[in-house]
Amino acid sequence: MTELNMTAERVLELIEAFGAAPGGWPEAERAAARALLEAQPDLFAAAIADARAVDDLLSEEVVPEPSLDLAQSILAQAPQVVPEQNNLIGVLGRVIFPQGARWPAGAVIASLFMGLVGGYSYASTGAGYDQADSAYYAAFGFDSGNAWLEAE
């Protein structure tokens, strides 16, 4: 609000809602409210005094420490951490599912299956069989199938 649009009722609402300190008021209305407050200090004196009293009470409030029984009962109800498995299954589980159960393992398994089926179906066709063999031998560093047989 601009200084022209700020009303005394709105300044009283700001004091009641946010306290006596203008630093706690909404920034968009702060300058206009301060200008009206400085122009008519007697109009807002009672509201400011009441708000300061409430602010002082709230600042003196001490939050008590929770009792030992309360802390123990909360900890007793907390979920327990599952110990980490150090056997082969535990290690494989951490490798395959690094983010835990939230990881989309089903999508990975489905894409792996689709890749295997697609690769097998491409390699087993008569037309691309030579190309598949060449790719296989090249992956292992051999120029042809004969070099592979010689290496065995």
User: What residue ranges do the domains of the chain occupy?
Assistant: 8-60, 88-151
Q: What percent of the chain has pLDDT over 90?
A: 25
Helices in 19-144 by DSSP H: which ranges?
27-39, 41-60, 68-77, 88-96, 105-123, 129-139
Q: Helix (H, G, I), strand (E, B), or coil: what is residue 19?
A: coil
Residue, of 135 and 129, whose pLDDT is higher: 135
Which residue reads 């809602």 in tokens?
A: 17
Compute and round to an integer the Cα radius of gyration of the chain.
37
Confidence (pLDDT) at 103: 59
Q: Kindly indicate the confidence band of residue 9, based on its pLDDT and cuts at 50, 70 and 90.
A: very high
| CA distances, 84 to each of 44, 87, 91, 93, 96 (Å) | 64, 9, 9, 10, 15
Q: Mean pLDDT throughout 89-114?
A: 72
**Residues 26-36 pLDDT 10s:** 999 999 999 99
CA dist., res. 7 & res. 5, Å (int): 6
Mean pLDDT of 12-33: 91
| The pLDDT of residue 50 | 93
Question: So what's the pLDDT on residue 51?
Answer: 93
Rounded Cα distance, 138 and 145, in Å:
10
> Please, which pLDDT band fits residue 14 given cuts at 50, 70 and 90?
very high
pTM higher than 0.75, yes or no?
A: no
Which of 43-47, 111-115, 133-137 has the lowest average pLDDT?
133-137
